Structure 1
Amino acid sequence: MRKLETLIEGKDEPVLVPWAQRDLNWREPSVPDVVKLGWHGTSVGPTIQGVNFRFFPYYLPVGQARPFHIAHNLELVFFMLEGQMEIGVGSNPDELRYFQIGKYDTLFIPNGVGVDYRNTGQTDVRYVMANSRVGEWPKECVYHFPGEEKPFVRKF
């Protein structure tokens, strides 16, 4: 098995990553409760990062979801390649507005709000999430797990 490059920084030169050179990046999760049944998804590495944006292809199997999480100073864009997802958007997990998105749909998420999302279709989901910073890059992401009183803070 070849070693995966997980981050490519394209600040001074063009960068091409052919799809055939991308692999599912199944790794130990950096967020503890994500290993629980139902919270399983992964990036399709590598991530490409410029000075002010990041580009992440993702894979979310049938029936899987991601809990509400928020990182300030980011604007996000979800672009669906295949499958169907429901994305909750809001400033906290108790006040979410839900969007149903499918193949080739695009959803912009403004700075100051977080997301949760789930695969609601009959097939695996493949999507691209791009983000750009508003000011400094965030230093943490806060996860809210259902049934847990205290949020989990993931430091970057």
Structure 2
Amino acid sequence: MAMQKITIEPVTRIEGHAKVTIHMDDKGNVERAIFHVNEFRGFEKFCEGRMFFEMPSITPRICGICPVSHHLAAAKAGDAVAGSPPPRPASLLRELMHMGQIIQSHGMHFFELAGPDLLLGFDADPAIRNVVGLIQADAGLALKAVNLRKYGQEIIKTLGG
């Protein structure tokens, strides 16, 4: 029997676009699995030649899920380039804003991406193993999930505008 190849495309329940290719031997054992990231945004090239102080405004567009993380990373890199660390209160505000991003992002990941599989079960009918199915199964939990994301967004909005 020849080696088998299984391709899973698209990979769902992730923040982005990807596929997985699994190569199995003639006994059905996995010989190798490859995770392919299919996205190329080209931000590296877009940023070349720009002034470092432009980066915190440009890099948040890399990702719609975690723009604050990209913004803060660019600001931190700019601080290093300038040789000027921010004052302690500014660092603490940045950290708090990042915590808001983590709350928002993790809330979305757990409840909207992984939640249907984890909470409804992997053997649940795929037609209902989704966000709508989760809402139908437990509307109260779904509302808590929305509010968790809202709290994270409110922290970001309060600190970053």
Higher strand share: 1
Q: Flag the structure with more relative contact order, 1 or 2, with Cα contacts below 8 A and sequence separation at least 6.
A: 1
Higher radius of gyration, 1 or 2: 2
Shared fold (TM-score, shorter chain, > 0.5)? no
Higher helix share: 2
TM-score, structure 2 length as denominator? 0.24
